[in-house]
Amino acid sequence: MRIPQTGEQLKLEGIDRVLDNEPENWKELADDLTRNWFSYQQAGREFTGQDLRNFIVEVIGEPHHPNCWGALCRRTFRKWLKAGSIIIYGYDRAKNPPSHDRILIRYRITHQ
């Protein structure tokens, strides 16, 4: 018997799936840019996923679907949190209109 998934599990699965459908070259470039962006940040700097998104868009443009941003940030920030490179520092409001003023997690860089 299969245990039914929760709404949260289904949401996260869908977010990951949309990034899986993004062309490999965009994902690879986005991952490289993410590492590059992080390497230039100073300890103590606060940021949201939107800061990273703005940087990547300037260089390679938007992915095929806006939900790719949630998957990219979720995957990356989870690694950084686990490594102790960042901490959750608070919350902020999204500034770009398509985000509809949603709540964003604010992070603080602890060390490189």
Reported as a single tens digit per residue, the pLDDT across 28-73 is 999 999 999 999 999 999 999 999 999 999 999 999 988 899 899 9
Examine residue 11 and state whether it is found in any structural domain, yes or no.
no
Question: pTM here?
Answer: 0.82
Examine residue 67 and state whether it is found in any structural domain, yes or no.
yes
C-beta of residue 16 within 8 angstroms of C-beta of residue 71: yes
Examine residue 56 and state whether it is found in any structural domain, yes or no.
yes
The Cα–Cα gap between 96 and 101 comes to 8
Band of residue 112 on the pLDDT scale cut at 50, 70, 90 = low
Q: Domain containing 105: what range?
A: 48-112
Instruction: Give me the number of domains the chain comprises.
Output: 1
Residues ≥6 apart with Cβ < 8 Å to 31:
76
Q: Which of 84, 89, 70 is nearest to 30 (CA)?
A: 70
Q: Which of 112, 67, 108 is nearest to 90 (CA)?
A: 108
- Residue 61 has a pLDDT of 94
100 vs 38, residue with greater confidence: 38
Examine residue 94 and state whether it is found in any structural domain, yes or no.
yes
